[in-house]
Chains A and B, each alone.
Chain A
Amino acid sequence: MFDDLVQFVLVLIVMTGLTVAMGKWLARVFTHERHWRIERWTYAVLGADPAEPMPWQRYAVVLLLSNAAMMLLGYLLLRVQGLLPFDSLQRAAQTPDLAFNTAASFITNTNWQSYSGESSLSNFSQMAVITFLMMVSAATGVAACGGFIRGLCRKSAQDIGNYWVDFTRVLYRVLLPLSFVIALVYVWQGIPQTLTSEAVVTTLEGAQQHLLMGPVASLESIKHLGTNGGGFFGMNAAHPYENPTPLTNTLHILCMLLIPAALTYTAGSMLMRRRQGWAFFTAFLVMLIGALAIVYAAEQHGNLNLARLNVDQHTSALQAGGNMEGKELRFGIGQTSLFVAVTTAATTGSVDAMHDSLTPIGGLVPIAEMMLNNVFGGDGVGFINLITFAILTVFIVGMMIGRTPEFLGKKIEAREMKFVMLAVLAHPLTILGLTALAVLWPSTPARLNNLGPHGFSEVLYAYTSGTANNGSAFAGLNTNTPFFNTTIGFAMLLGRYFTLLPMLAAAGSLAAKKSVPEGPGTLPTATPLFTGLLVFVVLLVGGLTFFPALALGPIVEHLMLASGQLF
């Protein structure tokens, strides 16, 4: 207990320190006047004009078009995998529906995987499709956030910056160099980085063991820095080659939080309202700590059904105990709970334990975090989602006192509220609509790994994860079918672009406005009161929307666990 608390506090302190350093750097990336030589060269290759100011519509269309081209290229490379000569294990190409799902999954920063990495992808595909899409989808999110923050900052402006400049700089100045350095630290800790596909060894008892490997470290570093989450191996960051030590586990956690947390500081810095940045950061942090506390308590308490069999789940000097089905011993309950809370907060979706085997309440937390979708959130989009709710908060407060709501010195009017509501509604509509469709679909029961309420949770988790662009799973559900591949593929695309685009529109609309001086009726937004209101609105809207679905899944399962009912 005490040892675990020390780890939690340590991670949160280091994360806060990194927030300042990375936040400052990102602000410089978004505002620096000069282009690096390699960037100018890149713009020339692309045929893009870095000096062109882009209104939000053009910024959004460039984003969409380039993402579409990248997704298409990824799809094609997956489809021709079987024709490429490089794979000693001769893994076959993915089917059309699976390749669509995979390409959609990685371009939207979701990293849902209906396949198992080691049996389905060659080392070439792991690099040229997966690593590539992980890099560019993260850069897309961070770039969009740069344009978004610029929109909040500007007054009477027609443009929100240049997409190509934001995108290229985020890649060259942040993601590529950091990924490279962290990948080398990972190799030092034991994550393989080789072009060989396997090593065959003879075990002490004389059996043959095929150890699959490949360029894992370079994928692993961008996977967490980019809040991507897709594993090189089927069992993701639980696999010892993806996550060999508690140190790599801790680094994974810090990498996931790095950019989403830093963007609060970046925004405060660019807005010249540092306290505002910290107010947003605190809102994120409060929700994360709450989630962590619940997961940790539930998992350390263990599985009542195993306690009935006299399985010792208590913490002692010789064991950490807890609910250990689907968990790795080197992480124990402490590191695992931290990972569970962070991976669904930062919508990474990497897993170092099987979420399907979490206790009902421990499993409720990741679902709920993805439903809220803004407990730090993914690279770039998490911050944008939080601002969505911040605008909703000033609007609700404005309604209560009968004043025109203002946010960061701009009047919030009907036009912005329409965009905000579109973004707020697209998320639950996709999750609940597709979950309802899937549970009515005749073949769904045959795909479940667990029966009873836990089976419903598996389906709910899948669409929540897809829509929130998380990518983790209650992995017992077999989703490699045309129905699931297609619907989850669409959930990911809707969840990504129908929250991103309306908010870029809102930013463009705010950028065009004059700033209004603060008056006595202005609600100050950099205060603890506002942070509290913001968290309250997030929980209220999320709770009202999703509580019935959660009641059918994890909550009723928790009650049945207490009564010893088995399925």
Chain B
Amino acid sequence: MSTVTQTPMPSQANQPGVPLFRGMVRPALVSAVFFMLVTGLAYPLATTGVAQLVWPAAAHGSLVERGGAPAGSLLIGQNFSKPQYFHPRPSATLGPDPAHPDQSVAQPYNAAASGASNLGTTSKSLVDQVQARAAAYRSENGLAADAPVPVDAVTASASGLDPDISVANAVLQAAHVAQARGLTPQQVNALIEQNVTPRQLGVLGDPRVNVLKLNLALDAVNATR
């Protein structure tokens, strides 16, 4: 387009005689150290001080105690494999192999090393794992060999530390828990209902069941009988 013409630019240089870098190096160097002290130490330490004062339990990881000893955090999932407990979602976290410390082996709910499978939808490895988990879930819970299973029961979470399961998953597990504990299914289902976490503020997230909270409640019921 002929109308787009190059016009001579007004002088873009600094005032004549002032080099581009004059007076810049010292502020640049000082700024690195100074702002590290302000934003990297003063700010997080001040936040820590106030947080520890106002919400000491939450600031220290929201731990729950049982019999005076810390038994976990309601925010972090735990591994449960015994039949008297509700089981959490599969977890892809790894831990050091006791035999070869420089190698990793599956160690579900290892809170020292969050992890996911990172397998894509067309991964053969993922499909094989899900098939095996679904078969195990059906046999543990006395379901037919082709019964549908809730998706959260056979897929690994993102953190490997997901504390929750879906209500559908909890309801299907009620039978084996009731049998192992000598409770009626009605009692267990009532406990599930009491322990459903609703949508936050009525709108945010999905209803779900915190596995550690539910299992603590189960132990409390058995302890009082």
Contacts and interface: CB of A to CB of B under 8 A. Distances in A.
Contacts of B52: 193-194
A312 B159 CA distance: 22
B120 A450 contact: yes
A187 interface: yes
A324 B119 contact: no
Contacts, number: 446
B6 interface: yes
Given A204-B72, A245-B205, A319 B168 contact: yes
A166 to B, nearest CB: 13
B120 A118 contact: no
A69 B168 contact: no
A311 B149 contact: yes
B105 to A, nearest CB: 15
Contact of A202 (B58, B71, B116, B130): B71
Contacts of A188: 54-55, 58
A534 B212 CA distance: 51
Interface in A149-205: 156, 158, 164, 171, 176, 179-180, 183-184, 187-196, 198-205
Contacts of B17: none
A240 interface: yes
Interface string B22-61: 0111111111111110111101111110111011001111
Contacts of A3: 199, 203, 206
A450 B166 contact: no
A353 interface: yes
A559 B25 CA distance: 56
Given A207-B79, A218-B43, A413-B7, A70 B35 contact: yes
B173 interface: no
Contacts of B98: none
A398 B24 CA distance: 41
B51 A187 contact: yes
A335 interface: yes
B58 A199 contact: no
A338 B43 CA distance: 30
Given A215-B48, A328-B158, A198 B112 contact: yes
A309 B72 CA distance: 34
Contacts of A327: 155, 157-158
A303 B121 CA distance: 6
Interface string A444-475: 00000111111001000000000000000011
Interface string A220-252: 001000000000011100111100111101100
Interface residues of B, number: 123
A127 B46 contact: no
A414 B6 contact: yes
Contact of A171 (B35, B159, B162, B208): B35
B122 interface: yes
Given A136-B39, A194-B48, A202-B69, A566 B127 contact: yes
A332 to B, nearest CB: 4
A539 interface: no
Interface stretch (A262-270, A354-362, A492-500): A354-362
A346 B70 CA distance: 40
A183 B47 contact: yes
A207 B215 CA distance: 15
Nearest to B50: A184
Given A10-B203, A184-B47, A324 B155 contact: yes
A213 B85 CA distance: 27
Nearest to A62: B24
B1 A61 contact: no
B161 A240 contact: yes
Contacts of B41: 127-128
A316 interface: yes
Contacts of B51: 183-184, 187, 193-194, 217
A450 B113 CA distance: 21
Nearest to A64: B28
A310 B121 contact: no
A425 B204 CA distance: 41
A58 to B, nearest CB: 6
Interface stretch (A281-289, A369-377, A399-407, A525-533): A399-407
Nearest to A402: B1
B224 interface: no
A13 interface: no
B127 A127 contact: no
Given A211-B111, A319-B169, A70 B32 contact: yes
Contacts of B120: 356-357, 360, 363, 450, 454, 457, 476, 557
Interface string B70-96: 111101111111100100010000000
A109 interface: no
Contact of A567 (B29, B48, B124): B124
A311 B130 contact: yes
A183 B5 CA distance: 53
B119 A195 contact: no
A218 B206 contact: no
B42 to A, nearest CB: 9
Contacts of A363: 120
A508 interface: yes
A340 to B, nearest CB: 11
B117 interface: yes
B16 interface: no
B4 A413 contact: yes
B160 A235 contact: yes
B140 interface: no
A211 B93 CA distance: 13
A51 interface: no
A61 B70 contact: no
Contacts of B58: 187-192
A443 interface: no
A312 B149 contact: yes
Given A42-B34, A127-B41, A318 B155 contact: no
Interface string A17-56: 0000000000000000000000000100111110000011
A209 B93 CA distance: 13
Given A129-B40, A309-B131, A322 B151 contact: yes
Contact of A199 (B11, B50, B60, B155): B60
A47 B151 CA distance: 60
Nearest 3 interchain pairs by C-beta: A246-B205, A132-B40, A476-B118
7 contacts: A70-B35, A131-B40, A204-B212, A233-B114, A457-B120, A475-B118, A565-B122
Given A48-B23, A201-B63, A329-B152, 14 more contacts: A58-B24, A72-B32, A164-B27, A190-B75, A202-B69, A204-B71, A209-B78, A246-B199, A324-B151, A328-B164, A414-B5, A454-B120, A475-B118, A557-B120
